[in-house]
Structure 1
Amino acid sequence: MESIHTKTHIVKDLLAFTLIVFISYILKDFLIPIFFAILLSVLIYPIVRFFETRLYFNRIFSIIIAILVFTAIIFFVCTLIGIQFQNILDKSDMYYDKIMQKIHLLIIQTENYTGVKSEDIVGSGQIEVKKIVKENSNSILELLTRSGSILSDFILTPLYMFFFLLYRTFLISFLHKATTNSRKNTRVVLSQLYDVQQNYLVGLGSVMVIVGLLNSVGLLVLGIDYPFFFGFLCALLLLVPYIGIIIGSLLPAAVALATKDSYWYAVGVIAIFSFIQFIEGNFITPKITGSKVSLNSFASILAIILFSMLWGIPGMILALPITASLKVLFDNSEKFKPVGFVLGEAEDKYFSNRAKNRLKIWKRIRSQK
């Protein structure tokens, strides 16, 4: 009887999970701006709080100023990126010609070393990169805008941020009334959720600055054009975990291939960025972000894949903060606490204690012999 009862609960949980995923996919255009608004509201809340408590501004006025300052910073960064991209595009024809010359030279060298004819390597036709890019530009734009209209998200997200910050006290009171937990437990969970998001955002910003500087120094050493632009652009792409830095390394590698005499400069760019990615993932991020956003690598990758399938590129950006929030909720639930444990980092102490116990057992067996 107990076994049947357990199986029924498992089936209900699976059905509930499937229903949540289905609803999340159907309502993605509605949910994505809301989740971005929640995340960004946590980011600018200290600024709003400063205006309210230190400068004694009205709450509405404080929120409007904070959102305008944040929007102005984003606009300034996007403008700088756009101007720099335009400068690179102005030289695209020159880059294209030099890259094609090196590709043809590489094909000829391959033909001389291996005896395989160039027609067998690239076919009888010519390599027309410009045509390929032009034909696939619509597909790229469709990929970037698949998860809803960027314009609508750009308008709705600040609007949602305004109302979340304006009604924050009211929303917290609602959560106190809606949950069955005591008021103290609800306050603790809300505090943990805020801390994990704030920790993630501040940590991500700090990691971006450090990685951007390391990338820029590496490109400066190699003598690549636009080192600080490429270095910080790649760091900005850390918003898309694991994949962003790979995409960000391709553009400076292409510029290195076009402007340098040796192929090894392009290889060096990718090698430096890969090494920095290794340092960032294993040392910088764990040290700066701290234990409050302790998701293990396997859970993080699965979350990124799931959310990318669900919401596309915005889902990849939101995957880690949402999963970290879910871990907080699971850790505070007796029923789902094992799920929170699986999502978290493995404790070195646990493994070291097991190793010590095995060593003691092994020594005891040896002494008995």
Structure 2
Amino acid sequence: MLSKSHLALDLLGLVLIIFIAFILQDFVIPLLFAIILSVLIYPIVQFFESRLCFNRIISITLAITIFTVIIFTVFVLIGIQFEEIMSKSSRYYVQIERKTTPVFAKLEEILGVNSKDIVGGGKLEVKEIVKQNSSSIIQFLTKSGGILSDFILSPLYMFLFLLYRNFLVSYIYKSTAGIYSKSKTRKILSELYKVQQNYLLGLVSVMIIVGLLNSIGLLILGIDYPFFFGFLCALLLLVPYIGIIIGSLLPALVALATKDSYLYAVGVIGIFGFIQFIEGNFITPKITGNKVSLNAFASILSIVLFSMLWGIPGMILALPITASLKVIFDNSYNLTNFGFLLGEAKEKYFSNKAKNRLKIWKRIRQQKNQNAD
């Protein structure tokens, strides 16, 4: 009876945490981004403090400034290049329409559906899209106020987290004094830091490698703006699994508009899909190693659940938060089963019973042959 009451309380607590996380998302999301990014720039702060003997405030300010300038420069470059591509959108549309008209005509014959019912009768220009959907765009920009506030609040939170880091660690020691020893708490905090740093540095390294591979693939195909599209798709790896799909559509459309054959567009999607396969199965496991050891099933579920909770920011935060939860579960006596569930499954859980029986039969046969000899 006691265990049932404990289970009910645990479930109630979980529901309450999720409810609070949803209601206070405008407060929680920038806070979580700040914690994760603080881990990313902490080595820079440490370098300024220990190697150059700078004041802590100056070190933190310099590190955040460098990080902000890099991010701002990336977005400015993306904006300039994207504006240039959009200036050619009308010409691209004419070419895409010329090439897709025979396809839609064939569909009309096969399916008996008018092409105007599929793509509409008017000319598909970016300006017209903006004009027709102005109310939706305004609504999106209004909602994006929360995103803009995240960019303002996150650096402030990062500064405070890094400034008060020793004080906050002491608070954690005091809060967990009745549950864990100080050495155990230190071990958990160290593991959490390593998991986050491993994930973030690994993600940056993977983005650079994938961006180069994408760009080389587009260069081989002769697609316009290869490095822009290559690294834009790599940047969208921040949104796991979905980012690669979104990132391959733009260069595929440009290929369709600028090349004589449909095969170039198919080739773009094929190359990006192949690179995504290599990234997921070889590059990321090799770089991040076993420190962020989440199985694919848990990863996908976490992305879906966090996207339902917080939208796109939730998809970005899903894996680092889930990896942190696994560390906490692994070090909690009552929650180790959940840590096991999130972790990588060993090879024995994928074995085939018939195959195992065949191995046993072969082993018995070898033993009989040895005895006969």
Fold conserved (TM > 0.5)? yes
Q: CA deviation at 1:364?
A: 7.7
SS of match in other structure, 2:291: helix
> Is the counterpart of residue 216 in structure 1 residue 215 in structure 2?
yes
The one-character-per-residue Cα deviations of 1:179-229 (angstroms, maximum 9, x if unpaired) are: 121000000000000000000001001100110011001101111000000
Question: Residues of 2 paired with 1:357 and 1:268: CA distance?
Answer: 41
RMSD: 2.5
1:71 counterpart letter in structure 2: T
Pick aligned residue for 1:122 from 112, 117, 120: 117
C-alpha distance 141-35 of structure 1, shift in aligned 2 (>3 A): farther
Pick aligned residue for 1:32 from 29, 33, 54: 29
Pick aligned residue for 1:43 from 40, 45, 57: 40
> Is the counterpart of residue 260 in structure 1 residue 259 in structure 2?
yes
> Is the counterpart of residue 7 in structure 1 residue 16 in structure 2?
no
Q: CA deviation at 1:348?
A: 2.6
> Is the counterpart of residue 161 in structure 1 residue 131 in structure 2?
no
1:235 counterpart letter in structure 2: A
Please tell me whether the aligned partners of residues 215 and 232 of structure 1 are also in contact (alpha carbons under 8 angstroms).
Answer: yes
C-alpha distance 38-362 of structure 1, shift in aligned 2 (>3 A): same
Q: What TM-score results when the alignment is normalised by the length of structure 2?
A: 0.90
2:14 counterpart letter in structure 1: F
The one-character-per-residue Cα deviations of 1:85-118 (angstroms, maximum 9, x if unpaired) are: 011011111111111121212223445xx45556
Moved more, 57-66 or 146-155: 146-155
Summarize the alignment of residues 1-369 of structure 1 with structure 2, pairs less than 5 Å apart: 4-111=1-108, 114=109, 119=114, 122=117, 126=121, 128-130=123-125, 131-132=128-129, 134-136=131-133, 139=136, 142=139, 146=143, 149-179=146-176, 180-348=179-347, 358=357, 361-362=360-361
Aligned residues: 363
C-alpha distance 144-253 of structure 1, shift in aligned 2 (>3 A): farther
Q: CA deviation at 1:163?
A: 0.4
Query: Identity over the aligned pairs, expressed in percent?
Result: 68
Please tell me whether the aligned partners of residues 146 and 312 of structure 1 are also in contact (alpha carbons under 8 angstroms).
Answer: no
Question: Residues of 1 paired with 2:189 and 2:119: CA distance?
Answer: 64
Runs of 4+ with deviation above 6 angstroms: 352-357, 364-368
C-alpha distance 165-91 of structure 1, shift in aligned 2 (>3 A): same
Question: Residues of 2 paired with 1:41 and 1:13: CA distance?
Answer: 31
Q: CA deviation at 1:304?
A: 0.5
Unpaired runs of 5+ residues, structure 2, are: 369-373
Please tell me whether the aligned partners of residues 256 and 265 of structure 2 are also in contact (alpha carbons under 8 angstroms).
Answer: yes
Question: Residues of 2 paired with 1:312 and 1:12: CA distance?
Answer: 28
Q: CA deviation at 1:308?
A: 0.6
C-alpha distance 85-361 of structure 1, shift in aligned 2 (>3 A): same
Question: Residues of 1 paired with 2:157 and 2:119: CA distance?
Answer: 56
Question: Residues of 2 paired with 1:16 and 1:66: CA distance?
Answer: 38
Please tell me whether the aligned partners of residues 209 and 235 of structure 1 are also in contact (alpha carbons under 8 angstroms).
Answer: yes
SS of match in other structure, 2:216: helix
Unpaired runs of 5+ residues, structure 1, are: none
Q: What TM-score results when the alignment is normalised by the length of structure 1?
A: 0.91
Q: CA deviation at 1:43?
A: 0.4
Q: Which residue of 1 aligns with 2:371?
A: none
1:66 counterpart letter in structure 2: A
